[in-house]
Amino acid sequence: MNDIIITAQEWITTLLIWFDESLLSYQTLAQLGIILLLWVFSLGLTRLFGFLFPHGLDRFDLYQRLKPQLTPLYDLILWALLLLTVQAVADQQDVPSYALNIATSLIFAWIVIRLATSLIESREIARLIRSLAWGLAALNIVGWLAPLINILEGITFSLGQGEVSIYDVLTGILTMVVLVWLALFVTSFLENWLRRVPAVNPSARVLLSKVARIVLIASAFLFAVSSVGIDLTVFAVFGGAIGVGLGFGLQKVVSNFISGVILLMDRSIKPGDVVEISGTYGRINKLAGRYTSVISRDGREHLIPNEDMVTQTVVNWTFSHRMVRRHLPVGVSYKSDLDLAMELMIEAADEIPRILDDPAPRVLIKGFGDSTIDLELRMWIRDAKNGVSNVASEVYYKIWHKFHDKGVEFPYPQRDIHIMTGSQSDIT
């Protein structure tokens, strides 16, 4: 521990000497002032160009594709070019330009890193990688990277039967971050490729993407741990503890995950299916590791645990085919023309575009009630994802108007009341 403290003190002393000799001299301060003025000038000149030429090179297709990546770098590129010009003049006049060289190198490093990280979709991950990469580049440019690595390699601690330094840990973390990002990028590319393969059904597509994601991320973690020099056998006890925790505290989580894998393998439900479970009716939007996303007709997204999708009764309206039959009960009066009523009900169904002609709509007599003749209209639709209640409402609306136009009566409840009269003695 004392060696570490002595090394840190020596490094801090060296750093203070470097500041005193390199940054606090009059020549360096003058160069820093020039750098600051050129930065302000480049910002103003970039804003002026944007005002005078608002459309710029938008007429070129290649520029339009690269515009989101190039626009934030205009002032930096102009700033770097101005610094190169001043640096060239200083070299010709044999004027020291140490600060100018460092500033130019830092700006060009930032430009390259910014362009490289623009391919990353997540802004947070891109910002993190950008900051780490530029920090390492800055340390290397000013000559501090090698001493810092030596200090970090000197700080070690025991792990299992070996020793690991802070430098090894940081290198492992950075390696894991890069490999995990690469695994996610490959998984996203695989998902996009599977979407374009018509032979792969949606369930198999989701299953393959999830398996690939798990395998790649696990491989990235194990490779990063191995690169640090840690023996993987040290995780045996940790793995046993996780197993016990899964057995007691995470039963539902594991059950939902396994249920999700079962749903993907047996293909009982898949993205795009129209299902009904526990009063929830909607279209399956996503099969996640813990839940199934079902979007109802009112736009609400229900996150149903996968265990419920396996253990409870699920009505899949589009499991084997997309055709769905609707049953619409209609009652008519005993005084009405029964043949006319049945004909009008079929006409009403034929006027709705969503109702199929084959199989054709038909009307059945279900029974004779107290006040009505119970009829039932049966019709088929193919687009249950667009709703089944709305098409029933449209048919009922047309039946209402057709019955009124043709004089078909809707019955009212009828009761026969018999009033019996008698003497007061008979009543008592």
Q: Hunting for tokens 């995990």 — which residue is that?
A: 180
Q: Cα(59)–Cα(61) distance, rounded to whole angstroms?
A: 6
Q: Cα(307)–Cα(312) distance, rounded to whole angstroms?
A: 8
Cα-based angle 369, 333, 396 (whole degrees, multiple of 5): 95
> What pLDDT does residue 41 have?
83
> What pLDDT does residue 425 have?
55
Measured in degrees and rounded to the nearest 5, phi and psi for residue 282 equal 180, -170
Domain with CATH 2.30.30.60 in the chain: 254-316
Closest CA to 112 of 89, 86, 136: 136
> What pLDDT does residue 201 have?
63
> What pLDDT does residue 364 have?
92
Copy the structure tokens of residue 132: 């780490």
DSSP state for residue 59 in the 8-state scheme: T
For the chain, give the longest Cα–Cα distance: 138
Q: Which fold has domain 324-406?
A: Alpha-Beta Plaits (3.30.70)
> What pLDDT does residue 158 have?
66
> What pLDDT does residue 255 have?
79
> What pLDDT does residue 241 have?
61
Domain with CATH 3.30.70.100 in the chain: 324-406
Copy the structure tokens of residue 51: 């005002």
Q: Cα(271)–Cα(316) distance, rounded to whole angstroms?
A: 12
Closest CA to 121 of 129, 133, 132: 129
Return per-residue pLDDT of the chain as tens, 428 residues: 555 556 556 666 666 665 555 555 667 777 778 878 888 888 888 777 766 665 656 566 655 666 666 667 777 888 888 888 887 887 777 777 777 788 888 888 888 887 777 767 667 777 777 788 888 787 777 777 777 777 677 766 666 566 667 777 777 777 777 777 777 778 777 777 777 776 666 666 666 777 777 788 778 777 777 766 666 565 565 566 666 665 665 677 777 778 877 877 777 788 888 888 887 888 888 887 778 888 887 788 888 888 888 888 888 877 777 788 889 999 998 888 899 999 999 999 999 989 988 889 999 999 988 888 899 999 998 887 777 888 899 999 999 999 998 888 888 776 667 777 765 555 55
**pTM higher than 0.85, yes or no?**
no
Class of domain 254-316 as given by CATH: mainly beta
Copy the structure tokens of residue 383: 């687009």
Copy the structure tokens of residue 206: 């989701």
List the 315-316 sheet strands across, edge first: 301-305, 291-296, 280-287, 274-277, 315-316
Which secondary structure element, helix H or strand E, spans residue 159, and what is its range? strand 156-159
